[in-house]
Each structure stands twice: as structure tokens, then as C-alpha cells.
């Protein structure tokens, strides 16, 4: 469990506040509230999910968030095979057909990008500028990874399992395929799977066709898309996405700690109707049921609290029953909306004792920014 700062009212708004010239923003961050052209370029390629889709327990495919570091590779299933190699008794190549013939596993899993919430930091790390929408819940179908590893037989000196995607690019000058690893112990967990379907359809190209890894409970970076090779290795993997990216640190000198499981977060399904440009919400007065969903990779959601007065007071929301251990849980809260301006917020706690902080904790990569969401609403 990681203890997080909690309690009290929201701190004064910092968003968009420029730093003074004396406070120089660390390298790779920008001080101002304005967004760069490069951030805009990434934001239009990698879209967030639509908050109104919180009404669905399983996010419709085109409404799921999307994050791809490089180009989406074009893959023909007939030319593709999964190679399993390295510290194994038997090197294998499996076609999609062979993988589909294995025991099927379907799981409802909420996945969230580790950078979700990054755009609210000041100074802001230069990367994909997510607000809060880098999340979605998929019904993933495939086969469990553990039995596959069992079959090829891991050598006694096997330490980690490396997952390589077909996509390639350059990051901080380093040419690479997108690659991440798990320890043997993590890889053998029963919920870890390779998936070939999302919501009952073949994976769409942008979500990893024909095969991807799914590591339930973890931030999205572990779910390697366009999986082409699994390599069992006898020492910890030190590739870019493992030892440079996806680490929590506050300065470039720190080694930092790796991002793993998702911290709790709750999101409100936007009530009323939006303004086209600002997306500010307007709704009519009277009783309204506020609804949303909450999730954590550290266990079940224990509770969600709602505030309609900018954090001055909090009330318990009613939780739906959590049926899928790795999917978000719905909540609702009955509100009698009085005319005027209100700031609505919701705040989740998990069974491991983690509570969302009122404001995200600053870090160099802008990871795990799970500060409480605030939604201004005008009732008229």
C-alpha cells in the first residue's frame, strides 16, 4: 500500500499558473498552461475515452482510450506467428489459429494509462497530455499465459519474461521495438493473458491485432500490443520502457520506482448537457442521480465519496456490487440540485487503504496522477 496525502478541502487551484523565471521547469517539462504543437499532435492520435461512455459497464470498442507510442503496424494474420524463445526447454511458434484452439478465457478488465491526469500537473511533463479520460473497460478474450509458459518449460535460471511488439520507433534517441517485461512470478499469475478479442470481436488494428498481452490491475503500459515475441531471460530486462520510462521520480538523476498497479480513481458521468467549446455542464434543478465508476489495481473499491460543494463536505455514494475483480464498479448518489454554480467531486478508496489525493502528486513523467476529479456544474 502507498500512503497518499488526504483530507481537507481542495488546495487553491494551481492549474495553468505560469512559473516565475526564478523557478525553471525541469528538462522535459513546460512551465506554462499553454500546450505545444507536439502535444496536440499526440493528443489527436491517442484519444481518450468519452466520459459519457461511463454509462456502459463495458466500453464500446471505438470509445475505449487509445495510446500507441509509434505507428500502428499493419499485420496480416496469415503472415503472423507468436514466437516463444530464450530460457525455455522448447522454442515454439504459434499461429493465431493454434492460439485460438487453446482454452478460452474472457475477463472484464479496466485499463488506464499510467499518464492519465498528467495534463493537470504544473510544470507539465511533455508527453501525451491526458486529462482524465485515458481509461476504458474491455471484455478481453484469449488464453492464459501461465499454461503457455508451462508448456514450453522455463529453465531454472529464468528470471523475467520479455514481451515484444511489432511496432518500432525512436524515443529519447533510442531506436526500439515497444517492449516490456514481467517477472516470472507476475507472468504466471492466473489473470495474465494473451488476448485476441475485444468485446467479442477480433482486436481492432489500433488495439493490438492480432494479439496483445493483458495484465489485469496494472497500468496500461504492460499490455503489450501487436505481440510477436515472448523471450524468457535470465536477468532483469533493462529496455527503455522498463528502466527509463514508466518510473516514478521527481528528478532525472533518480532511478525511481517502476509503475505497476493502478491507484484508485473515480470518475463522474457528466450530468446535464455540455457547452460545445468549454464542455461546462448545465442541468435543470431538482432531484438528479449522479453516477460514475471507480477502480483500483490494489483491490476492490471500498467506497466512493461525493462532494457537491467543492470538497467542503463529503457524502457516501451507493456502490454497485463488484462482480469482476479487475473491472471498475459503478456508483450513484442522489442529489437535490439547487439553482446556482456547484463544484462536484468524487473520491475513491480501495480495500488496500489507498485513497485518492485531492491533488495529484507531481513527478517527472506525470504518472499515477489520480487527484480527485472536479466537475463544475451550473443548475438553472
Whichever of 113 and 268 has its CB closer to Mo ion, that residue is 113
One-character DSSP codes across 153-166: -B-TT--EEEEEEE
Rounded to the nearest angstrom, the gap between the alpha carbon of residue 249 and the centroid of all alpha carbons in its chain is 18
One-character DSSP codes across 303-316: EEEEESBTTSS-EE
Residue 130 touches ligand MTE, criterion: CB under 6 A: no
Q: Candidates 2-10, 222-230, 304-312, 326-334: pick the segment binding ligand MTE (CB under 6 A).
A: 222-230
Reading the block at residue 320, the C-alpha cell is 454497485
The upper half-sphere exposure of residue 110, i.e. CA atoms within 13 Å in the direction of its Cβ, equals 34
Q: How far apart are CA 215 and CA 35, in angstroms?
A: 32
Site track for Mo ion across 93-112, x = CB under 5 A: --------------------
Closest CA to 145 of 91, 201, 233, 214: 214
Q: How far apart are CA 271 and CA 253, in angstroms?
A: 44
Report, in Å, the least distance between residue 133 CB and Mo ion: 12
Choosing from 48, 58, 65, 335, the residue that interacts with ligand MTE (CB under 6 A) is 65
Q: Candidates 101-109, 151-159, 219-227, 256-264: pick the segment binding ligand MTE (CB under 6 A).
A: 219-227
Q: Candidates 13-21, 215-223, 247-255, 328-336: pick the segment binding ligand MTE (CB under 6 A).
A: 215-223
Phi, psi at residue 207, to the nearest 5°? -100, 15
Whichever of 144 and 224 has its CB closer to ligand MTE, that residue is 224
Q: How far apart are CA 109 and CA 122, in angstroms?
A: 31
Whichever of 67 and 82 has its CB closer to ligand MTE, that residue is 67
Distances (CA, A) of 195 to 67, 267, 363: 17, 27, 32
Whichever of 307 and 363 has its CB closer to Mo ion, that residue is 363
Using CB under 6 A as the binding rule, the residues of this chain from 177 to 206 that contact ligand MTE are 178
Report, in Å, the least distance between residue 337 CB and ligand MTE: 34
Report, in Å, the least distance between residue 305 CB and ligand MTE: 27
- Under a CB-based contact definition with an 8 Å cutoff, are residues 223 and 149 in contact? no
Choosing from 66, 168, 288, 291, the residue that interacts with ligand MTE (CB under 6 A) is 66
Residue 371 touches Mo ion, criterion: CB under 5 A: no
Choosing from 223, 354, 359, 360, the residue that interacts with ligand MTE (CB under 6 A) is 223
Residue 108 touches ligand MTE, criterion: CB under 6 A: no
Residue 369 touches Mo ion, criterion: CB under 5 A: no
- Under a CB-based contact definition with an 8 Å cutoff, are residues 306 and 333 in contact? yes
Choosing from 123, 129, 142, 220, the residue that interacts with ligand MTE (CB under 6 A) is 220
Task: Note the helical H segments in the chain.
Answer: 37-45, 96-100, 145-152, 184-187, 240-243
Choosing from 67, 81, 158, 245, the residue that interacts with Mo ion (CB under 5 A) is 67
Q: How far apart are CA 278 and CA 101, in angstroms?
A: 49
Residue 346, H or E segment: strand 340-350
Report, in Å, the least distance between residue 219 CB and ligand MTE: 7
Whichever of 86 and 216 has its CB closer to Mo ion, that residue is 216
Radius of gyration for the alpha carbons in the chain, expressed in angstroms and rounded: 21
One-character DSSP codes across 280-292: -EEE-SEEEEEEE
Residue 220 touches Mo ion, criterion: CB under 5 A: yes
Report, in Å, the least distance between residue 347 CB and ligand MTE: 23
**Residues of this chain that bind Mo ion (CB under 5 A):** 67, 113, 220-221
**Residues of this chain that bind ligand MTE (CB under 6 A):** 64-69, 113, 165, 167, 178, 207, 220-221, 223-226
Amino acid at each position: 500500500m502507498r500512503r497518499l496525502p488526504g483530507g481537507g478541502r481542495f488546495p487553491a487551484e494551481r492549474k495553468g499558473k505560469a512559473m516565475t523565471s526564478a523557478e525553471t521547469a525541469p528538462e522535459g517539462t513546460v512551465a506554462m498552461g499553454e500546450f505545444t504543437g507536439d502535444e496536440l499532435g499526440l493528443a489527436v492520435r491517442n484519444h481518450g475515452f468519452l466520459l459519457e461512455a461511463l454509462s456502459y459497464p463495458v466500453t464500446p470498442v471505438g470509445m475505449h482510450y487509445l495510446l500507441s507510442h509509434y505507428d500502428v503496424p499493419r499485420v496480416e494474420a496469415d503472415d503472423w506467428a507468436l514466437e516463444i524463445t530464450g530460457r525455455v526447454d522448447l522454442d515454439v511458434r504459434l499461429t493465431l489459429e493454434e492460439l485460438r484452439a487453446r482454452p478460452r478465457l474472457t475477463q472484464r478488465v479496466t485499463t488506464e494509462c499510467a499518464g492519465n491526469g498528467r495534463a493537470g500537473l504544473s510544470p507539465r511533463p511533455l508527453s501525451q497530455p491526458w486529462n482524465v479520460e485515458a481509461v476504458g473497460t474491455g471484455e478481453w478474450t484469449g488464453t492464459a499465459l501461465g499454461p503457455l509458459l508451462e508448456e514450453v518449460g522455463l529453465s531454472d535460471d529464468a528470471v523475467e519474461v520479455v514481451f515484444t511488439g511489432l511496432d518500432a520507433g525512436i524515443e529519447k534517441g533510442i531506436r526500439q521495438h515497444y517492449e516490456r517485461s514481467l517477472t516470472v512470478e507476475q507472468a504466471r499469475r492466473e489473470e495474465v493473458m494473451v488476448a485476441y478479442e475485444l468485446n467479442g470481436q477480433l482486436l481492432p488494428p489500433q488495439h493490438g491485432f492480432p494479439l496483445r498481452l493483458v495484465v489485469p490491475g496494472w497500468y496500461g503500459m504492460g499490455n503489450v500490443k501487436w505481440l510477436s515475441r515472448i523471450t524468457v531471460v535470465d536477468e532483469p530486462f533493462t529496455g527503455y520502457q522498463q528502466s527509463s520510462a514508466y518510473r516514478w521520480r521527481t528528478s532525472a538523476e533518480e532511478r525511481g520506482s517502476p509503475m505497476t498497479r493502478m491507484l484508485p480513481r473515480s470518475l463522474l458521468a457528466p450530468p446535464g448537457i455540455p457547452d460545445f467549446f468549454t464542455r461546462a455542464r448545465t442541468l435543470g434543478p431538482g432531484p438528479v442521480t449522479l453516477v460514475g465508476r471507480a477502480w483500483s489495481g490494489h483491490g476492490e473499491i471500498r467506497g466512493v465519496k461525493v462532494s457537491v460543494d467543492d470538497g467542503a463536505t463529503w457524502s457516501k455514494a451507493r456502490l454497485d456490487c463488484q462482480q469482476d475483480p479487475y473491472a471498475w464498479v459503478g456508483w450513484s448518489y442522489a442529489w437535490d440540485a439547487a439553482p446556482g454554480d456547484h463544484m462536484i467531486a468524487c473520491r475513491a478508496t480501495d480495500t488496500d487503504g489507498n485513497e485518492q489525493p485531492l491533488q495529484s502528486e507531481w513527478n517527472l513523467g506525470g504518472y499515477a496522477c489520480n487527484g480527485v476529479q472536479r466537475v463544475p456544474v451550473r443548475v438553472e
